[in-house]
Structure 1
Amino acid sequence: MADQTKPFARSLNDRMLAGVMGGIAHRFGWNSTLLRALFVIVSIASAAFPGILVYLILWLLMPQEAD
């Protein structure tokens, strides 16, 4: 049987900035609002987690979702 996994791509419909969190949430079947909130909280609370840098790198590396 072929692998039917969803692609790892930035979301076109579920986006606040670039669709990175929406794409990750869609890929794993998570709630995108909760994922965004968790990402912001971890980014602010942890000096060891450079949230803005991680988001920018994901924005550059993740392909745009196909229509």
Structure 2
Amino acid sequence: MAKLQRSSDHKIIAGVCGGIADWLGWSPNLVRTMFVLSLVLPGPQAVFYLGGWILMPKQP
């Protein structure tokens, strides 16, 4: 299994969704779509994204 890191290949903003997709073995577009759709629901999704941006190491 891949290490949880921000993706340098599948990044649009910071590579967080691409890194999660690589880690899960999913399509990066699927993870991005699920994240954007989750933003319609109340909750701290944007805070989690920012936390991932800060805490997840970047792929070399």
Q: Same fold (TM over 0.5)?
A: yes
Aligned length: 60
- Between the aligned partners of 2:44 and 2:17, the Cα distance in structure 1 is 15
User: Could you tell me how far apart the structure 2 residues matched to 1:61 and 1:28 are?
Assistant: 18
Q: Which of 20, 32, 43 matches 1:24?
A: 20
CA RMSD of aligned residues (A): 0.9
Which residue among 15, 34, 40 is the counterpart of 2:36? Answer: 40
What's the counterpart of residue 62 of structure 1? 56
SS at match of 2:51: helix
One-letter amino acid of the structure 2 residue matched with residue 62 of structure 1: M
Amino acid at match of 1:58: G
- Between the two proteins, what is the percent identity of the paired residues? 37
Question: Post-superposition, which runs of at least 4 consecutive aligned residues in structure 1 deviate over 2 A?
Answer: none
Q: CA deviation at 1:7?
A: 0.9
TM-score normalized by the length of structure 2: 0.91
